[in-house]
Structure 1
Amino acid sequence: MNDITIATHNGNFHADDVFSIAALKHVFPAFNLIRTRDLDIIAKADLVIDVGGEYDAEAGRFDHHQRGGAGARENGIPYSSFGLIWQKYGVEICQGSEEVANSVDAGLVSTIDAIDCGHVEGVAQGISLSQTISMFNPTWQEDSHFDTCFDEAVDFAARVLTRFIASAAGGISARSIVAEAIEKAEDPRVIVLEKYTPWKRTVHALSDQALYMVYPSDSGQWRIQTVPVEPGSFEDRKSLPQPWAGLSNQALQEATGIEDAMFCHNGLFIAGAESFESTMKMAAIALQAE
């Protein structure tokens, strides 16, 4: 038997109400979902999402359509119902980690809120997750029922939310590992990771000296990768030596004098060798190159 009743509006749905229900699936193992605009039914619900004209988290009311809205973040992005739900339950959903919850808010929740509230400043252009959710609504040519399509959209959103949480948690865990590697580096220009770990944001935040990252590949060989001038940039702080561009195996071994050198990308941002020692030799040569 379901212990709780959650109400949201019926008919056409958007990312904020879909993701709100997806988030609540992480909080409540089972609940009775009613999609309606009947105010009598709404009044009896335990939680009300994106309908009802009231925001009162303690009373379980999470609408933002009332006059004056439901507040905004410090950066000016207003809260939609998803943001209000995340304020209330985000830390719990992220297993008690406020840091992970804040990261998910910055990367996912606030963008959905911004689009839903028409706050387009700073929101990336192109097909958005909000538009993707909207495409779950039945078209005028389809006989599908809105509630069935809503359930499909919630299942999709629940999976996306789970992956966002996992990605945020992984990035936060990686930060401490990369920070320790920077601190322990024998040469601050060459940072060695014992296992591949997402590193770009942490390196750019903590080191303006790092030029190359050295780490093992999944197949057991080693890689050397350049540090871009900023996250997302195709320009490197210091590229690998130009004579290595596009070479592999014997040709690269002859060019480097390293017997187990394997390859160097034509873009001079990554190369590899069989052993850690050889990859560090590649780093030493690259540091000395003009």
Structure 2
Amino acid sequence: MPDITIVTHSGNFHADDVFSIAALRAVFPSFKLIRTRDEELIRQADIVVDVGGEYEPDSGRFDHHQRGGAGERENGIPYSSFGLIWQKYGVEICQGNAEVAQAVDADLVSAIDAIDCGYGDGVAKGVSLSQTISMFNPTWQEDTHFDEGFDEAVDFASRVLNRFIASADGGISAKDIVAKAIEDAEDPRVIVLEQYTPWKRTVHALSKEALYIVYPSDTGQWRIQAIPVKPGSFEDKKSLPKAWAGLSGKALQDETGISDAMFCHNGLFIAGCESFDSTMKMAELALAE
């Protein structure tokens, strides 16, 4: 038998209520989910999400539609139901790691809150998770029920949430490795990693001078990658030389004078060689450009 009853609203759903239920799945091994706007069922529920007009976390009430909302972050982004759920359960979902929970909030939760609350400015453009979730709602041409689409959306959101948690945990666990590489760099503009680890957040936090990262690929060759001007940006501090754009094999070897040069992406953000020494030579040439 389900241990508790969770209520969220019926009908059309959005990313905030879908991800809220996905998050609660990680907390409660079993529960009965009711999608309704019936006030009596809402009153009787153990946890109420995105409906009911109350924010009382100690009483299991997590709505943000009431007058005055349910608070906002320091950056001005209001909380949606997902943000409210994450405030209470995020650290628990992340196995007690507050740093991981905070990273997931910054990268996932706050973006969904912003879109749901109409604060989309500053959120990355393109197809968003919120839009993707909305597409699980049945169209007017489909003979399906909203609840079926909701269940499918929650399954999808659960997988996405788990990957965000894993990614955040990996990045935080790699922090010490990247910090030591920055400290040990012979040239502070070129950071060498002995194994690939997530580096962007740490490099941006600890080094203003770094321009390139050099690291081994999973196939044994080596890569050089330009560092973006800020996390998430497609603009690099210093792109690789324009003459290398899109070249590979002999064409790149002739251009660079490096006998084992393999490729350079047309976007000039990554290139590679067979050996470490040759990749460092690429870095030397790029710095001199």
Compute the TM-score of the two structures, normalised by the length of structure 2: 0.89
Matched, 1:194 2:194: yes
Show the counterpart of 2:70.
Answer: 70
Alpha-carbon deviations, 1:106-162, whole Å to 9, x = none?
222122222222233433444322222222122222221121111111111111111
Report deviation, 1:247: 4.9
Show the counterpart of 1:111.
Answer: 111
Report deviation, 1:203: 2.2
Moved more, 243-252 or 50-59: 243-252
Find the aligned partners of 1:10 and 1:63 in 2 and give their Cα distance.
14
Give ranges in structure 2 of 5+ residues lacking alignment.
none
| Preserved contact between residue 196 and residue 215 of structure 1 (Cα < 8 Å) | yes
Identity %: 76
Show the counterpart of 2:98.
Answer: 98
One-letter amino acid of the counterpart of residue 7, structure 1:
V
Give ranges in structure 1 of 5+ residues lacking alignment.
none
Report deviation, 1:53: 1.6
Question: How many residues are matched?
Answer: 288
Find the aligned partners of 2:271 and 2:126 in 1 and give their Cα distance.
33
**RMSD over aligned Cα, in angstroms?**
2.4
| Preserved contact between residue 245 and residue 267 of structure 2 (Cα < 8 Å) | yes
Matched, 1:278 2:286: no
Find the aligned partners of 1:278 and 1:106 in 2 and give their Cα distance.
38
Matched, 1:237 2:238: yes
Show the counterpart of 1:27.
Answer: 27
Decide whether aligned partners of structure 1 residues 142 and 198 sit closer, same or farther in structure 2, where only a CA change above 3 A counts.
same
One-letter amino acid of the counterpart of residue 239, structure 1:
L
Find the aligned partners of 1:99 and 1:105 in 2 and give their Cα distance.
10
Find the aligned partners of 1:131 and 1:268 in 2 and give their Cα distance.
31
Show the counterpart of 2:4.
Answer: 4
Report deviation, 1:220: 0.4
| Preserved contact between residue 212 and residue 225 of structure 1 (Cα < 8 Å) | yes
Report deviation, 1:60: 0.8
Tell me the SS of whatever aligns to 1:107: helix
Decide whether aligned partners of structure 1 residues 133 and 261 sit closer, same or farther in structure 2, where only a CA change above 3 A counts.
closer
Decide whether aligned partners of structure 1 residues 134 and 228 sit closer, same or farther in structure 2, where only a CA change above 3 A counts.
closer
Report deviation, 1:255: 5.3
Show the counterpart of 1:130.
Answer: 130
One-letter amino acid of the counterpart of residue 140, structure 1:
W
Report deviation, 1:96: 1.0
Compute the TM-score of the two structures, normalised by the length of structure 1: 0.88
One-letter amino acid of the counterpart of residue 29, structure 1:
P
